[in-house]
Chains A and B, each alone.
Chain A
Amino acid sequence: MDNKIKVISFGFIAGILSGLLGIGGGIVLVPLMVTYLGITQHMAHGTSLAVIVPTALSASIVYGFNGNTNLLPALNLAVGSIIGATISAKGMKKISPGRLKTLFGIFLILVGIRMIVS
């Protein structure tokens, strides 16, 4: 941690993307930490979660002030999401992640194209 400016600017990039796209920012944070700060993959994953909480919180407050949020579906999705994550953490390790990842990648490409042309 010799270069605080570097670390703060990494955070800044992730924060910009988080607020712009409504995502957590782990997608950017984890590779940056692993590649440029020499943090292990597991540690980077844990640290990114600690960054995501205050980031998503501040972004969602601004979204809320601008009338771009809805509490009831958020609560519903969050409960479903936590249950889903628990299920996949406990019982579904047998599925080969390679094939699933490819399918998911194709799905994302199709969704992306659909959103660009709509």
Chain B
Amino acid sequence: MTILITFIAGMFAGILSGLLGVGGGLILIPIMIFLLGMSQHTAQGISLLVIIPTALAGLWQLHKAKLIHYNLAFYLSLGAVLGALLSANFVHYIPADNLKRIFGIFVLFMGIRTIWSVKTKK
């Protein structure tokens, strides 16, 4: 049963991120916490794993469409990998409740930004 719920949750996240142009993590993490009862740290770890094949699937399409600036991607990745290694190690020391609040603030901010972007386009 959990497998089915997980699969449907993933599909739902995929449809939404495709329609709205947002990353999967923003949708997946709350689903894992509230629907699948996972801890904040594990939900974030799983989200990162899910992002890899999902991004790879999109990458191939965009590579064929010549929409990837590889030189720029190289230098951005240099900084990004360094930053990610640093914070992924650090996050281990943040208590789950606090990490959940930090994530909550981020989600709240993204919600306001999403509504704002609709309003300004009209």
Contact = CB atoms under 8 A, between A and B. Distances in A.
A118 B97 CA distance: 8
Instruction: State the majority secondary structure of interface residues on B.
Output: helix
Interface residues of B, number: 99
Contacts, number: 367
A102 B111 CA distance: 9
Given A69-B49, A84-B16, A102-B114, 12 more contacts: A14-B76, A17-B87, A22-B46, A23-B26, A24-B55, A33-B72, A50-B70, A62-B88, A73-B6, A82-B53, A109-B112, A115-B104
Interface of A: 1, 4, 7-27, 29, 33, 37, 39, 42-43, 45-47, 49-60, 62-64, 66, 68-71, 73-74, 76-89, 92, 95, 97-98, 100-102, 104-116, 118
Interface of B: 3, 6-26, 28-30, 32-34, 36, 38-39, 41-59, 62-63, 65, 67-73, 75-92, 97, 100-115, 117-118, 121-122
